[in-house]
Amino acid sequence: MVRKKQFTLSLGLIFFIIFMNANTKIQASPTLDPVEYVDIDRFMGKWYVIAAIPTIIEKNIYNAIEVYRKSKDGTIATTFTFRKGGFDGEEKIYTPKGFIKDKNSNAIWGMQFIWPIKADYRIIYLDPNYETTIIGRNKRDYLWFMSRQAHIPESTYNKLLNVAKNSGYDLNLIKKIPQRWP
């Protein structure tokens, strides 16, 4: 049995935060526009991470899931879980907090892994049925394709790739996240 570990602060997390926020790469691309509006209640719940331009902690991960829950204080309680190194690898759990920055659209958040830093989090694509989404960053350094289902049709995946390409992302950096569930 693999033992679950909750990480509140670790060396990997510290490097992740530093890398997410101290990246001084000059961005020549225009601002990454979010979707026009997100019904935050419909957006809450479980999302399978289908593909990503991975952060340092997301290298070689399996069965990645992001779960959002609206807190009483208006923040978004987030639980990010995955297996490291394989489907039977150690389960990792991170619990950042989301802060909705643009209350008109609900599509631009700050994601806080450690106080006081809030990483850029933008919902740049959301299908009308709230079944697939793309989360991006203005720097175009990280990206996540997510779905309510563990697997999506190749045509849907290609559509998400097209959105990413049109948003200025390098498609060669996107890696599929293996998902296998009973």
Per-residue pLDDT at 30: 73
Q: What is the spatial distance between Cα 77 and Cα 112, in angstroms, rounded to a whole number?
A: 10
Cβ-based burial of 104 (10 A; exposed 0-12, middle 13-18, buried ≥19): exposed
Q: Is 177 helix (H, G, I), strand (E, B) or coil?
A: coil
**Any residues with CB less than 8 A from the CB of 30 and at least 6 apart, and which?**
168
The answer to whether the CB of 94 falls within 8 A of the CB of 113 is yes
* Higher local confidence (pLDDT), 25 or 107: 107
The mean per-residue pLDDT over the stretch 43-69 comes to 96
What's the Cα-to-Cα distance from 54 to each of 9, 34, 104, 175, 180, rounded to whole Å? 19, 20, 29, 7, 19
**Res. 102: pLDDT tops 60:** yes
- Among the residues of 102-182, which ranges form H helices? 154-166
φ/ψ of residue 57, rounded to 5: -80, -10
Name which of 20-24, 89-93, 147-151, 154-158 the model is least confident about. 20-24
pLDDT in tens, 138-173: 999 999 999 999 999 999 999 999 999 999 999 999
